[in-house]
Amino acid sequence: MTASSLIIRPVMDDDMAAVTTIYGHHVLHGKASFEETPPTEEDMRGRQRALLDGGYPYLVAERGGQVMGYTYAGPYRTRPAYRFSVENSVYVAPEQTGGGVGGALLNALIQACEAGRFRQMIAIIGDSANTGSIALHSKFGFRHTGTLNAVGFKHGVWLDSVIMQRALNGGETTLPDTLPE
């Protein structure tokens, strides 16, 4: 199938079984998520509802009626001063990695966040050896702002967290009141 057959759209309730399966694979076999036990579909639905209720975008990539991956933005931190910053997440079905799904999702997420009030997007990338995610974020204008060394322990190894950041809507060059709350 061609990349043009990929559809990026808002998540629907019917997508959550596939989203849960994709994330569960990454929890069990990857180092991007620092969770060690896959959440249930009910847990994932609760997380989805909380993000959507908070006004954050949550998108899926679909091809031929099948969910290939998903992405969302959520609060970077919960204190009020952080309300213009978001943290992003992108997860792709294991058999779809390297085929442009992650890039299509991240691009759409950036656009969705720029349509709102947000001024900074932060990526907290699990494992400094996660060169695919680091390269993907770099491609979309994220810059490396730091590494927290050996802050996670999973699959028998210490893992870093790589922090990358991208300005949205002019970033710090304009005041927040120029965008809708």
CA distances from 173 to 23, 55, 84 (A): 36, 23, 13
pLDDT tens, per residue, the chain with 181 residues: 445 599 999 999 999 999 999 999 999 999 999 999 999 999 999 999 999 999 999 999 999 999 999 999 999 999 999 999 999 999 999 999 999 999 999 999 999 999 999 999 999 999 999 999 999 999 999 999 999 999 999 999 999 999 999 999 999 998 887 655 5
Domain boundaries, the chain: 3-178
The CATH H-level (homologous superfamily) assignment of domain 3-178 is: Gcn5-related N-acetyltransferase (GNAT) (3.40.630.30)
pTM of the complete model = 0.94
